[in-house]
Amino acid sequence: MEQMRGLDSAAAGKYGVDHHLLMENAGHSVYYVILREMGVRGRRFVVVAGVGNNGGDALVVARKLHSSGGSVRAFVVGDPSGYAGPALQNYEIASKIGIKLSTISGEAQLEELRSSLAWCDAVVDGLFGTGLSRDISGIHRSVIEEINAAGRTVFSVDIPSGIGGNDGRIYGAAVRATYTVTFGLPKLGNILYPGYYYGGKLFVSHISFPPELQDSPDIRTELNEPPELPWRPPWGHKGTFGKLLAVAGARNYYGAPYFSSLSFLKAGGGYSRLAAPRSVIPFIAARASEVVYLPMDETDSGALASSNAARVLELIDQHEIDVVVLGPGISLDQEAQSLTRTLAPKVERPLILDGDGLTAISSDPSVLRSREKPTVLTPHPGEMARLLGTSVGEVESNRVETARRAAKELNSYVVLKGAHSIIAYPDGRAFINMSGNSGMGTAGSGDVLTGTIAAMIGLGLDVGDAVRAGVFIHGLSGDLAAAAKGEDGITAEDVLQWLPAATKAMREDHDGTVRRYMPEVI
């Protein structure tokens, strides 16, 4: 939000696009969405305006709806003497042009609001925008509850009132919008859950900001728009599309090694090898004949013995491995953990660390510092908390900055998994991934992600691009699975089985596939 205010003042200062113009553009963009989504003439609208600039925007909308033949009942919530600048100007105009304008200062006026909400076809929510600074109570909260109770189509101005602009959290109560039109660029609160859910269909209006403002390098957080996949030469062979070595598995963890090694092939990778404890391999081989198996020495508990380190390094050279996955399902067995800490600094290939492999390096993250080749970490919030020595609550309350911090401190590409996974680069950039659904919160889904990212490296993408493409395609695969079977019952196997279709969609219609996940720019 602070960045947006900076853009605002830059727009006014440098280009003369002052706040009056910005407010007019903002109001018009909401009006345009209403016109396009439901029409205006003869329709009935309740406009709820707070006494800040969000309210000012809403009064511009009221003026335009009124002018185009809509029936408008506007309610100012709070003391109109609070208006200033362009918001005051729009309040004064709204007072003169024949709009039915009431002020709600207390519970006594709620009945008039309630009957108007019953009367209207749609509500314009301009109570709070990015100025929301604390939990909502009193009359503001009652108004939000009335809007939600009325069950009408709601167009929220900039952000659903009650959603925090920087964190997407609900500040006491929040409007459940059908549409949100946000200005300039999306705020984190428009994109992070639950804010993203409360916003309904999201539109972005650049409110006539010049591109050089929107594309400013100072903006270090973006939506994940993954790159096109590299071309597949028709004369390609297994080696052309990447050779994986997955070091994974333990006696009671058959799924992780299976999912991480097979998903590599399902997402387009060329040749997949799995180094797993000797006794585990027959069970996995029965399910994945396409993977080549390397039986490894094991401890009494059936985990990878630490004595395997030299052999793994030899195998990497012998088979000209391109990318290594280390950790899925290796268990907390001390030897497997120490094997991971021994291998991590020595693997001179792009390395993806996941699952219990992350736990192994959590006790000594410095083992990554000496690595020259890129490192990718794919923690869920619990693993991230262990990596950073903090709590899950801390991680979840500030997902973007936590991922950014981890990427910098560990000099790695970090995927903080969860609803809207966050991808952070060592250089400080962060990307919010928009594909995926709640059905993917299921055992093994993360293992499918590691093989998918590895496949993108195998196809030839730079590691940063490979992480962004892998996370997006993994989520897309889960969405295709959910579309076919519903979110409740999909399992990691479904996410795995839909990977080819997801990769195919990216090849056949990259722009269309990605655009479906992006807010519509109007």
Ligand X SMILES: NC(=O)C1=CN([C@@H]2O[C@H](COP(=O)(O)OP(=O)(O)OC[C@H]3O[C@@H](n4cnc5c(N)ncnc54)[C@H](O)[C@@H]3O)[C@@H](O)[C@H]2O)[C@H](O)CC1
Q: Which of residues 176-195 bind ligand X (CB under 6 A)?
A: 183-184
Q: Which of residues 105-134 bind K ion (CB under 5 A)?
A: 125, 129
Smallest distance from the beta carbon of 54 to K ion, in angstroms? 5
By the rule CB under 6 A, 50 interacts with ligand X:
yes
**Interacting stretch for ligand X, rule CB under 6 A, among 62-70, 93-101, 132-140, 446-454?**
132-140
By the rule CB under 6 A, 53 interacts with ligand X:
yes
Give me 113's structure tokens.
Answer: 């609001």
Smallest distance from the beta carbon of 487 to ligand X, in angstroms? 32
Smallest distance from the beta carbon of 54 to ligand X, in angstroms? 3
Measured from the CB atom, the residue of 187 and 468 that comes closer to ligand X is 187
Phi, psi of 77 (to 5 degrees): -105, 110
The two beta strands, 375-377 and 351-353, are parallel
User: Would you say 24 and 60 are in contact if contact means Cβ atoms under 8 Å apart?
Assistant: yes
**Interacting stretch for ligand X, rule CB under 6 A, among 18-26, 68-76, 296-304, 430-438?**
18-26
Give me 230's structure tokens.
Answer: 């590299």
Applying CB under 5 A, the site for K ion has a residue count of: 5
Q: Please state at what angle helix 381-388 crosses helix 399-409, rounded to 10 degrees.
A: 50
The response to whether 53 counts as a known ligand-binding position is yes
The two beta strands, 323-326 and 221-223, are unpaired
By the rule CB under 5 A, 87 interacts with K ion:
no
* The only residue of 136, 157, 284, 352 in contact with K ion, by rule CB under 5 A: 157
Phi, psi of 293 (to 5 degrees): -110, 140
By the rule CB under 6 A, 131 interacts with ligand X:
yes
Amino acid at 37: E
By the rule CB under 5 A, 161 interacts with K ion:
yes
Smallest distance from the beta carbon of 48 to ligand X, in angstroms? 12
53 binds, among ligand X, K ion, none (CB under 5 to 8 A by kind): ligand X
By the rule CB under 6 A, 57 interacts with ligand X:
yes
* Selection from 376, 308, 294 nearest residue 337 by Cα: 308
By the rule CB under 6 A, 205 interacts with ligand X:
no
Smallest distance from the beta carbon of 118 to K ion, in angstroms? 21
Long-range Cβ pairs for the range 11-20 (8 Å, 24+): 11/209, 11/210, 11/213, 15/210, 15/213, 17/208, 17/209, 19/53, 19/85, 19/86, 20/85, 20/86, 20/89
Residue with tokens 């946000």: 182
Taking the C-alpha atoms of residue 45 and residue 66, their distance in angstroms, rounded to an integer, is 9
Residues composing the chain: 522
Sites of contact with ligand X (CB under 6 A): 4, 8, 22-23, 26, 50, 52-57, 128-134, 136, 140, 157-158, 183-184, 207
- Annotated binding site: which residue ranges? 53-57, 125, 129-135, 158, 161, 256, 329, 380, 417-421, 446-447
- Annotated binding site for AMP: which residue ranges? 417-421, 446
Sites of contact with K ion (CB under 5 A): 125, 129, 156-157, 161
